[in-house]
Amino acid sequence: MKYRNRIVIAYIVVMLAALCVLWMLTGRNSIGRRDMVAYNDELHRVYEEYRAGRTVTELEEKYGCRIVLAGGSESEVMKAYAEYGLVMDFAPDGEVIGKILWNDVDNWAVSSRRNARRTALVFWGIVFTAGVLFLLVVDWFLLRPTREMRGLAAEIAKGNLDVPLPIRKHNPFGNLVEGFDLMREELRSSKEREAEAEKAKKELVAELAHDIKTPVATIRATCEVLEVKQQRRIDQLTDEAALADAQDVLTKTQTIAHKADMIETLVGSVFAATLEELDHIEVNPTEENSAVIEEYFRNLRNYGNIILDNPIPSCLVYMDRIRMEQVIDNVVGNSHKYAGTDIHVRFDETVGKDREGAGASYISVCIRDSGPGAPEEELPLLTSKYYRGSTAKNKAGFGMGLYLVRSYMEKQGGGMEIYNDNGFVVNLYLRKV
């Protein structure tokens, strides 16, 4: 409302100013009285030259008049009277011998038309300038905000929700612009929440797929043991009924083993597809008691004989419980799969430098098997995404284990290193608080 009032007031002021200018210009264009003294002077000069012998035609051309001598055309004199011309007696020697005419009204008409045109042109210029200024004001205060909103709407349609809409003090659409910008912010927040939810869902799928692999491996190992025992029992049985029952149990055990293989394959496919879509997996390290790490190793029951060479130093470390458990499971699982020997774990305190180059204290977790190790030329590549060494040709996997271990350790503020030393060795470094 206030902007509409301002526009109306500005328009009225401009029109009143134009009216005042028009009034002043037209007031100066009024026709004044004849200067009879000037005409009498000019008449006496005509008399003098007439007496000096100048002809009537020469006098008319010189003084812009018309001299009608006695006996001349009376109609010309009457026409001069009709057109408000100046008619005076022509008496150069004191005796009237005719009439002298000045038609100055035509000159006044020409001058008036010229002044009127000048006045109209000035008035048109004022109105034109006022109109241009009015359009500029309308464009600045009304059209520009709508163009900005249209531009923002186009950016939003493209999915760009980071372009802010400027909120100006004298914007007549201030509330609308503010509401539009709030809508953009809410859309951006909603999109971010959606992306976070999608990423969390994918991370959950990846974690579940990874965690399902352990119980499935246990089921398959158990089935293998049952198959061996049941086969031995079948070889020793002679009773047909007992033999039939044993054969049925063996068939069912083999079916369970086959289904476990199918589950592992499907879960592996889901795990690989999910990791393909994930740019990164969230890791949230917090202060935890180091004893938790030792407990993780003691709970691993499906990877052969795990020997803890010494207790872990008691302290606080930065780690994400879930990610650290996955790290340990990956490393120990790889050693069991590729070496198949006892696995030794040793804990030490060490110092080093963090990513910024500052000194820091760490807990070192050294996991060592007694297998053949990895070829030296392949060691730098083993932590690359999807890389599988030459010793993994006949083993199931996706080449993601050590890549995830390195990624998780670095995101917890620590690190890892791998090397051969009478077996394959993985050193995990957890930063102390």
Instruction: List beta partners, residue 102.
Output: 86
* Burial grade of 334 (CB within 10 A; 0-12, 13-18, 19 or more): buried
Mean pLDDT of 290-294: 92
Residue whose token pair is 């029952």: 245
pLDDT digits (tens, 9 = 90+) for 232-269: 888 888 788 888 888 888 888 888 887 877 787 767 66
Pick from 127-141, 200-214, 411-425: least confident: 200-214
State residue 4's pLDDT score: 61
Torsion angle of the four alpha carbons 417, 419, 423, 426, in this order, in degrees rounded to the nearest 10 = 0
pLDDT digits (tens, 9 = 90+) for 48-84: 999 998 998 999 888 888 888 887 777 888 888 777 7
Terminal Cα-to-Cα distance of the chain (whole angstroms)? 63
Q: Please report, for the chain, the start and end positions of each structural domain, with discontinuous segments joined by +.
A: 1-30+103-172, 38-102, 194-278, 283-433
Question: Do 296 and 306 contact (CB within 8 A), yes or no?
Answer: no
Q: Of residues 174 and 83, which shows the higher confidence score?
A: 83
Q: Residue 424: which H helix or E strand, with range?
A: strand 424-431
CB contact burial 213-241 (16+ within 10 A = b; e otherwise): beebbebbeebeebbeebeeeeeeeeeee
Which of 81-90, 213-222, 320-329 has the highest mean predicted lDDT (pLDDT)?
Answer: 320-329
pLDDT digits (tens, 9 = 90+) for 4-52: 666 677 777 777 777 776 677 665 544 557 778 888 898 899 999 999 9
225: Cα separation from own chain's centroid: 60
Q: Residue 9: which H helix or E strand, with range?
A: helix 2-27
Mean pLDDT of 162-170: 65
Tell me the CB-side half-sphere exposure of residue 410, using CA atoms within 13 A.
Answer: 12
pLDDT digits (tens, 9 = 90+) for 197-220: 777 677 667 666 666 776 777 787
State residue 186's pLDDT score: 82
Residue 317 has pLDDT above 60, yes or no: yes
State residue 1's pLDDT score: 46
Sign of the CA dihedral 330, 334, 340, 342? negative
* Burial grade of 313 (CB within 10 A; 0-12, 13-18, 19 or more): middle
Residue 367 and residue 343: Cα distance in Å, rounded?
Answer: 7
**H-type alpha helices, 66-173:** 74-82, 104-138, 144-158
State residue 346's pLDDT score: 95
State residue 185's pLDDT score: 80
pLDDT band at 109 (very low <50, low <70, confident <90, very high): low
pLDDT band at 190 (very low <50, low <70, confident <90, very high): confident
Which of 139-143, 211-215, 328-332, 352-356 has the highest mean predicted lDDT (pLDDT)?
Answer: 328-332
Tell me the CB-side half-sphere exposure of residue 218, using CA atoms within 13 A.
Answer: 8
Question: Do 40 and 23 contact (CB within 8 A), yes or no?
Answer: no
Both structure tokens of 219: 């089921």
So what CATH class is 283-433? alpha beta
Both structure tokens of 148: 């900005």
* Burial grade of 295 (CB within 10 A; 0-12, 13-18, 19 or more): exposed
pLDDT band at 387 (very low <50, low <70, confident <90, very high): confident
Question: Do 127 and 18 contact (CB within 8 A), yes or no?
Answer: yes
Q: Find, among 332, 366, 369, 324, the residue nearest to 348 by Cα.
A: 366
Residue 3 has pLDDT above 60, yes or no: no
Tell me the residue type at 85. Answer: G
Where residue 161 falls (left for φ over 0; alpha for ψ -120 to 50; beta otherwise) is alpha
- DSSP structural state of residue 381: G
Mean pLDDT of 371-399: 76
Average pLDDT, the chain: 80
State residue 84's pLDDT score: 77
Residue 227 and residue 242: Cα distance in Å, rounded?
Answer: 16
pLDDT band at 288 (very low <50, low <70, confident <90, very high): very high
Cα-trace Rg, the chain: 55
Pick from 148-162, 292-306, 408-422: least confident: 148-162
Tell me the CB-side half-sphere exposure of residue 148, using CA atoms within 13 A.
Answer: 21
